[in-house]
Amino acid sequence: MLKNINNNITRMINLMNSGEFVAAAKIADDLIGMNIQDPRFLHASGYAFLQAGAQAKAMVQLHKFIALVPKQHAIINIVADLRSKLGYADAVNYFEQSINLSPTTPQYYFNYSLHCYRAEHFSAAKPLLIKALQLQPDYIKVISQLVKVCIKLEETNEAQHYLQKLASSIVDKNAEYYNLAANVYELTKEHAKAVDNYILASAEMVEPAVYEGIIINSVHAGQIDTALTWCMRAIEAFPELLLFYDLYTKLAIEAGIANPLAVLKEAMIKLARDDFYASFITMSLNLGDIAAAKDALKQFSKVYSSGYQFIMKRCEVEQFLGNHNEVKTLLTAVEPQSDAYFEVKVLTELALGNYPQAKSDIEKLISNNEENQYYKALLSTCNKVADPIYYADAYQPQHVVKCSDLSHRLGTDNFDEFQKQLIESVDKLHVMKHHPANQSGRGGSQTPGHLLERNDIPAISKLKELLTVEINHLLTEVDFERWPHFSKNNHTGKFKFVTSWSMKLKTGGHHLAHCHSKGWFSGVYYISIPDDMNVNDNEGGIYFGKPSIQVKDEITPDLVINPKAGDLVIFPSMYWHGTVPFSSEQDRMVIAFDILPVAL
């Protein structure tokens, strides 16, 4: 028996030396039930399983090996790496053991950093990588990983530094390098360079993320034709991935292409998948093309795999048509499967005037989604029509809507020059011709991306600085205690901008009433306002408290503000707000944003 075991161990080692790891692992599998404690077998079988891709078995065998032969730091580090990949919480202990036993081995720090990276502990990964690089300055994998970590930490200068170091350290740049460089250029908002590098990466990396990177950065760079072209290439490469059909459709709408739904429609018919029908119906309704939506719904009825999704799309169409009793009947045919069901139900009950039932359903939604500002907006509407006396007392706009003139932060002369530079800078970023079909704006264009993160544009950086100071001041004037369901406990005295954009409206332009579901406070800074608007009719004004959803009883605004250029208005993200159309031939340009409090 012992001789046979020794022979098999020798065979395993010989096979591994020949690169035949699967065959060696097969022998190990045959022997593993014999509970062999020979360190040679445990070591050999562990490596055989590791090379054959059987990570869990490798970890068990190598773990047994280090129990018999301690202080084998190389094996300990391998076990640590395996335990990390397999999700064991104690992986850190093994990493630290290996480093303590051999503190000058750069590979151990690198492997430990990968564990931190997987756990999204990027600030912990960085010093480990720096230590590995100190031990081995030409360690390409470490330099590359440092670039990734600095991107995650949004450390722009350091990401650029390590990318330059990587570029000088490698002879032949490959797709992985170009993809990494594109990510850095995204971070630095050099979108044209990001596009160029993503395109170079795409020669070898035929992956959705690379194509998406080309498309999104092309939009940011104002290269709309390039974005549309790569949308079509992505559709050819990934014909069943809805993402690229949706991107193409939205770009085609905003670029003013005739029949923007044609590509999505062709795929919808060809693939006959629920998600394609659902997307086409929603896109059609966003464009107001009820005939296309109804036709798609008719086809959908013949092929759907999920009766629930089909019913929900029927509800969406009937709700668009104002057939709320029909929606109510349809909802009784299915069991609730998501918040979307209750959202449709609430809108139906509000339209029919069934306010107590609507309120009950809204409160369920809020209890499961405490920070969803849209649900809080629905509740405020329900309170307004069901109990106007309570609403008038609880939702007083003067307690939470604050307005100020930003010019006092710079002085009149300096502010006029600043405004001029800001207008010129922001206007260049309006690369689209039309407003997004699924947004509240009508009759204008919206900038892509997070505008206030454009640190490469001095005027925008200055505005962010001014806004930060002024918003902090205005928040001290907010009476957080006066509003129901308001996140007053979140106010820490510090906040961050989570999204921002500019909207440029032309004559007749306006915003439908809406709220910002993922914000806490929202705001608008007015860059330019036409000087010939009819203020008596509140042209271009921003109103609060009147929703765009259909409610049985008439609702009027709580407050209307007629801002001037240089004004800043902030308000709770849950508060319905919209703007009044204006007739001037001059443009009206603003910057809007959402903020969230930062935990201290």
pLDDT computed for residue 116 by the predictor = 95
**Burial (CB count <10 Å: 0-12, 13-18, 19+), residue 444:** buried
Q: What are phi and psi of 455, to 5 degrees?
A: -70, -10
pLDDT computed for residue 440 by the predictor = 64
pLDDT computed for residue 46 by the predictor = 86
pLDDT computed for residue 436 by the predictor = 61
pLDDT of 178 above 70: yes
The rounded distance, in Å, linking the Cα atoms of 326 and 318 is 7
Q: What is the pTM of this model?
A: 0.83
pLDDT of 20 above 80: yes
pLDDT computed for residue 2 by the predictor = 54
The rounded distance, in Å, linking the Cα atoms of 25 and 239 is 39
SS3 348: helix
Mean local confidence (pLDDT), 309-321? 95
Residue in the block written with tokens 């100020």: 404
pLDDT computed for residue 38 by the predictor = 85
- Directed axis angle between helix 224-237 and helix 208-220, to 10°? 170
Among 245, 178, 162, 263, residue whose Cα is nearest residue 213: 178
pLDDT of 438 above 70: no
% of residues, the chain, pLDDT over 90? 62
Domain limits, the chain: 398-597
Greater confidence (486 vs 345) lies with: 345
Residue range 372-389, pLDDT digits in tens: 999 999 999 999 999 999
pLDDT computed for residue 134 by the predictor = 97
Residue range 471-487, pLDDT digits in tens: 999 998 988 887 777 65
Mean local confidence (pLDDT), 439-443? 63
The rounded mean pLDDT for the chain is 90
**pLDDT confidence tier of residue 230, bands split at 50, 70 and 90:** very high
Residues 514 and 545: beta-carbon distance below 8 Å: no
Residue range 114-158, pLDDT digits in tens: 999 999 999 999 999 999 999 999 999 999 999 999 999 999 999
**Burial (CB count <10 Å: 0-12, 13-18, 19+), residue 37:** exposed
The rounded distance, in Å, linking the Cα atoms of 26 and 4 is 16
Residues 555 and 395: beta-carbon distance below 8 Å: no
Residues 494 and 600: beta-carbon distance below 8 Å: yes
pLDDT computed for residue 7 by the predictor = 84
Classify residue 560 by its DSSP letter: E
**pLDDT confidence tier of residue 439, bands split at 50, 70 and 90:** low
Indicate the helix (H) or strand (E) that contains 525.
Answer: strand 521-528
Mean local confidence (pLDDT), 304-318? 93
pLDDT computed for residue 595 by the predictor = 94
pLDDT computed for residue 4 by the predictor = 76
pLDDT computed for residue 180 by the predictor = 97
Residues 496 and 596: beta-carbon distance below 8 Å: yes
Could you please report the per-residue DSSP string of 16-35?
A: HHTT-HHHHHHHHHHHGGG-
Residue range 242-254, pLDDT digits in tens: 999 999 999 998 8
The rounded distance, in Å, linking the Cα atoms of 54 and 578 is 59
**pLDDT confidence tier of residue 326, bands split at 50, 70 and 90:** very high
Q: What are phi and psi of 549, to 5 degrees?
A: -75, 155
pLDDT of 544 above 70: yes
Count of CB atoms situated within 10 Å of the CB of 342: 18
Question: Which superfamily does CATH assign the domain made up of 398-597 to?
Answer: q2cbj1_9rhob like domain (2.60.120.620)
**pLDDT confidence tier of residue 25, bands split at 50, 70 and 90:** confident
pLDDT computed for residue 593 by the predictor = 96
Q: What are phi and psi of 244, to 5 degrees?
A: -75, -30
Tokens of 447: 């900038």
% of residues, the chain, pLDDT over 70? 96
